[in-house]
Amino acid sequence: MSVNLQPPLRPKFGLMLLVVIIVRISTVHQDLRSLADQEAKCREYLRLHYGENVEVILLSSQGSGEHLDREELNQLESLIEAGKIDLVLAEDLARICRRQRAYDFCEMCLDHGVRLIAINDRIDTSVENWQDSAFLATWHHERSNRDTSSRIKRSLNSRFDRGELIQSLPYGYLKPANAKTDSDIEKDPAAEPVLKEIFRRLEGGANYSEIADWLKEAKVPPGPNCRSDIWKCKMVSRLVHNPILKGVRVRNRMVTKRVNKTGRHRSVKGTPDQLRKRECPHLAFFDPAYYDHIIRQLDERNAMFVRAKPGAVDSRKGTPRKQTRWPGQHARCGICGRLMYWTRDGKAPAMICSGAQDYRCWNSQIIPGDRYMSKLVTAILASFQTLPGFDPVILRQVQERIQSAGNERGSHIEATEQQLNAVTRKLRSIVDAVETQSGSRSLLERLGQLESEQSELEYKLQQLRKRPATNIIVPSQEELLSTTTSLFERVATEDQEAGRLLRQLIPDFFVVPCRTCDDGAIVSRAHLTLHLCSLLPAEARQPETDEILIRPLIVDLFDPPQRIAFRERVLTLRESGLTERAAADQLGITKTAAQHAMRLHRKMQEDGLTDPYLRLHEVPEKSKFTRHLHPRFCFEPLPGFPLS
């Protein structure tokens, strides 16, 4: 064993040194032999400074060191936090991670009693003033990475200007195997009539979806670099808007930007000074003036669908798609089970089934957002008024639960103490075995399991010994009403925390199309399950109390017609002896409306119904639904749907 390393390597338990070796290459395109070379260097370092009595955990990965959410990095941090290893060894600090996270990683190792050595960077956290070396190494690796990126971008831009950079090409172009410049690229003769027809149809008013359907029917293959074998409207739009069709190659229209939180890059629009263009007249399929005219026509036609007008700030820019106003991406379609998405009905916000957008569900009902929310809020707040005796019932059950727990408290404490004593004895035996033996991996794993079990039992005993609360204040109906009203007001401002709380209050949320039994208009209903227990204090949430606070609720997301809205009142007046005209005059409606109400009532009696609305399980023969008639339609409900 060498004495050059000061302080020398020492295992925590026994004589076996438990080491994690980190080896990494940046991409899958790099030479895999580099991983073996890094491992060999680390093992040789261990042999020279400790000997052969070493147990190694090898973490090998292929991925950028900038990516801070790599699975291997999370696994390494878990091993360090568990305190089961003695040493983290790497060729250099950048093999573990980059940027400030690398320095923080060194400090985390120090906090958990784990030594870290980066051989090439001369970093050893057991040596005084290791921070200076770690700080300089972190800065050096980040600067080298940034300089390399700048050199690559400079080289690619220069080659593009010279016509040498040829990467992916869209449909309509052929790239010979020996092509080195854009002058070697050829137009595909078979693609010219297809592209001409695409632009002719677009000029005539066709949309991208229609073009995609026509290309699929004509069995036209997508471009060589497309990941999908089937034409989609986005692919058509991307092809049409590529200026190479008019003989102009562009670069840096989209550039990558690093997300510092994760270290990964996302694609964003490049700035005007980054955009580079190159004239290639031999690649043009269309005259530039005609091409620009068609693109301008398409942009004007689709201007109503953009989120922000030209020059205006996009309110959703930089916002993740999953971060949306409730109940978007929470409510589900009652036909296919997919999420409901926010869209627009003209200029107003609305909800629609995501399956209908992808032609996987026939329920294309569009629900106006303002009506959606107002009906929902009114119905949920009204449900609080139907909880007679809420406070005394809940409080009595809570107090009974606490009293029962108090009676059993002594026996629970005694049983937990016995379990804790048994685990403590096992721990002592394991520690003795580790000290007298060489410290095998299995003993260390068992030691960690027992330590975790001991910690959990100590926490449980601590909670049992606490004096249980005997005076729990349960919110009144007025307080619950105020809390829920506040949640809905916060949701209107896209408060994400309020949306999460409403997901707990309403875990089950399905939107179901319905129709009156007399074949009237198709409308939508929301089938909810209210978990009012989510609004109670934590100590008042018990299984016994939760049962009476789970309420199913059906909300009509529409304004009922007169024959339904006045049916019960017309029936009551008719049973009292009034004629239909007299009943209509008293209710302020027409005689025809009263007749329709009674006709509906008789129909319900014949069918044995108490609710005038029937849930739809399949597409009605006569309806406004036409999604299922499209050749692209293929009904694919999620497992368990449609609901019965």
Taking Cα atoms as reference points, which of 123, 105, 125 lies closest to residue 115? 125
Contact between residue 224 and residue 176 where contact means Cβ atoms under 8 Å apart = no
Q: Report CA dihedral (357, 360, 365, 368) to the nearest 10 degrees.
A: -40
Beta strands in 191-298 (DSSP E): 248-251, 254-258, 265-269, 276-279
pLDDT of residue 3: 47
When computed from its CA atoms, the radius of gyration of the chain, rounded to whole angstroms, is 35
How long, in residues, is the chain?
A: 644
pLDDT of residue 2: 45
Could you say which residues of the chain have pLDDT below 50? Answer: 1-3, 469, 644
Contact between residue 468 and residue 405 where contact means Cβ atoms under 8 Å apart = yes
Instruction: Quote the tokens at residue 171.
Output: 């449909």
CA distance 51 to 254: 53
Q: What is the pLDDT of residues 159-210, one digit of tens each?
A: 999 988 887 889 999 988 888 888 899 999 999 999 999 999 999 989 898 8
Domain chopping of the chain, boundaries:
17-148, 182-305, 390-465
Quick one: CA dihedral 28, 30, 36, 42, positive or negative? Answer: negative
pLDDT of residue 438: 53
Q: What is the pLDDT of residues 248-303, one digit of tens each?
A: 999 998 898 888 888 888 888 888 889 999 999 999 999 999 999 999 999 888 88
pLDDT of residue 493: 67
pLDDT of residue 1: 39
Helix (H, G, I), strand (E, B) or coil at 323: coil
CATH architecture designation of domain 182-305: Alpha-Beta Complex (3.90)
The residues, any chain, with a CB within 8 Å of residue 632's CB and separated by 6 or more, are 209, 213, 359
17-148: CATH superfamily? Resolvase, N-terminal catalytic domain (3.40.50.1390)
What is the pTM for the complete model shown? 0.64
Q: How far is CA 269 from CA 108, 256, 257, 301, 317, in A?
A: 38, 8, 10, 22, 12
The residues, any chain, with a CB within 8 Å of residue 52's CB and separated by 6 or more, are none
CA distance 310 to 305: 12
